[in-house]
Structure 1
């Protein structure tokens, strides 16, 4: 499978349930009354479950979904130099750069969450992502030295990026020529929200959509019950369920450090990079799930909280009143923590 820019956070982190049975890492509909459409995008998989459509209508919808996701990828990917994002990244101009409203909205939300997490969620961290081999560049043969890390960090920082709205036109502006924006932390959430919008435009009132580990639901499933989502245990066993939640028309996203990594000199290198140190995280927090009004918002928060680590993340969750479920390593096992806001979505929790 070609990995485009969404290599980072939540590949196979969540999967759907229509009952309390476990299923595949993306989606498995247990009743023939539901139609499942699926495909590949952004280096991961998309899946849409909908009700009461015939074969011709399903084929038409699938084509529209894939076309929209292809356009989203062309907007946001860092794996294609002609994408809208990469044209901005590769430009040395520090003048306002015109972008479409979708790009402006994604970056505005990312900056908002970035500042709320004290820079832990940083979409300008691209030079560090690339340095550690989680972007278009190949994995390094040896761990980057401090001079390389310092050089990359000097080209990052939320303060260097601004969104401008002037006379109905949106612009991005960077104040250092080689600023490099990487939207891999929020792209799946944006695409999931975009799919949900498409379903509504197409008159579909009951659906569950996913792009990677970002999901959005509306209405009920084929059994007239709420769509339920299973949060995976932090293990390579893809069907191991930690908790089951009813997202009730919201967006949900998970960031985990236990899936996307590589081994270097006998050390596990996580894809989650701490902008403050310039290095992959090494703390004991291994999974963060966020429920929010949109998948984009959930996708932004889960990354920032993941970078912060357990205790600092709890502080931000309490301060912002977020619906969050965390799994962290303790001794030889794992423990969980959830905010009061998350408890209203919880259906059951596994030992």
Structure 2
């Protein structure tokens, strides 16, 4: 389950644009560049898929042999070695988790599973207070730390049953990784995305800025809320309006509030963040989505974040943007 939903779409249909795409992490990846010779395009696509497959093997909670799954199964307190990429993701997660007052929490696996958004099936009835309390007791960012040293990096937990789920950040991390691959390949003008995380550099083949559309929070595809020029930044959206189910007559969102242990019920339906990296954007959008509109606005202003929020007020959708986001806006449609 990936929190950053497909609410962003690349406007990459300019003449001369070549689009490579495939699947990873339970979603789609997409790379837009100037047209390449067929052999070069095939080689690039293969390298992209290999890299993303390696990322998935590192971060997946669905694959029993992944690095993260092995860490989650380990029930001791000794530091466990990880690569620099995973250490970076967890470091970002802990920092954003602290700044959001715990709203962005990568240890929520037991609660995600309890509410039926993990590998387990959906519950037949709404979990009771005792079940929620038991699941919450197995979570908490305070039980997790990253150790950085000359010899490498390690993750350490002081709660044996603690498990880490990086799906809220995996799309952003993989998108940044794609951008680094483009640079290594000598490609300076590109737009890359994994799921709902997008990053661009340079211009499209027509010499114009790459444009990204923020879709309206409806079930209709291609309903555009706003257009942005990322100016070399990353963007990610979290939303509560597509990944849900009905239980005991209530709509159950996949976005879980770590403090209550329950799915969110507030009016905020979409949070979009533009940040220097897609990873940063992917972490902030989740935390802001959990906080709700008023707290998210206050935090965005305090941290000077580029944020675009959409709330549902009755039958209307109401948008709010921070001053920093306005600098990226092209226009509304």
**Length-normalised TM-score, structure 2:** 0.98
Q: 2:40 aligns with which of 50, 57, 65?
A: 57
Q: 1:236 aligns with which of 207, 214, 219?
A: 219
2:8 corresponds in structure 1 to 14
Q: Tell me the matched-pair count.
A: 333
Aligned pairs for 1:188-207 (under 5 A) are 188-207=171-190
1:127 corresponds in structure 2 to 110
SS of the aligned residue for 2:76 comes to coil
Q: 1:177 aligns with which of 142, 160, 163?
A: 160
Q: Are 1:8 and 1:271, in contact at CA under 8 Å, matched by a contact in 2?
A: no
1:26 corresponds in structure 2 to none
Q: Are 1:8 and 1:260, in contact at CA under 8 Å, matched by a contact in 2?
A: no
Aligned pairs for 1:1-351 (under 5 A) are 7-18=1-12, 29-31=13-15, 33-350=16-333
Instruction: Deviation per CA, 1:17-51: give whole Å up to 9, x if none.
Output: 14xxxxxxxxxx242x1111000111100000111
Instruction: Deviation per CA, 1:149-191: give whole Å up to 9, x if none.
Output: 0001001111000000122310100001000111111000000
How far 1:9 moved relative to its partner?
A: 1.4
- Distance (Å, rounded) in 1 between the aligned partners of 2:58 and 2:313: 41
How far 1:133 moved relative to its partner?
A: 1.1
RMSD: 0.9
SS of the aligned residue for 1:74 comes to helix
- Distance (Å, rounded) in 1 between the aligned partners of 2:191 and 2:174: 13
Q: Are 1:189 and 1:253, in contact at CA under 8 Å, matched by a contact in 2?
A: yes
Structure 1: any 5+ residue segments left out of the alignment?
A: 1-6, 19-28
Instruction: Deviation per CA, 1:83-125: give whole Å up to 9, x if none.
Output: 0001000110111111111100000001000000000000011
How far 1:265 moved relative to its partner?
A: 2.1
- Distance (Å, rounded) in 2 between the aligned partners of 1:310 and 1:63: 42
- Distance (Å, rounded) in 2 between the aligned partners of 1:16 and 1:157: 36
**Length-normalised TM-score, structure 1:** 0.93
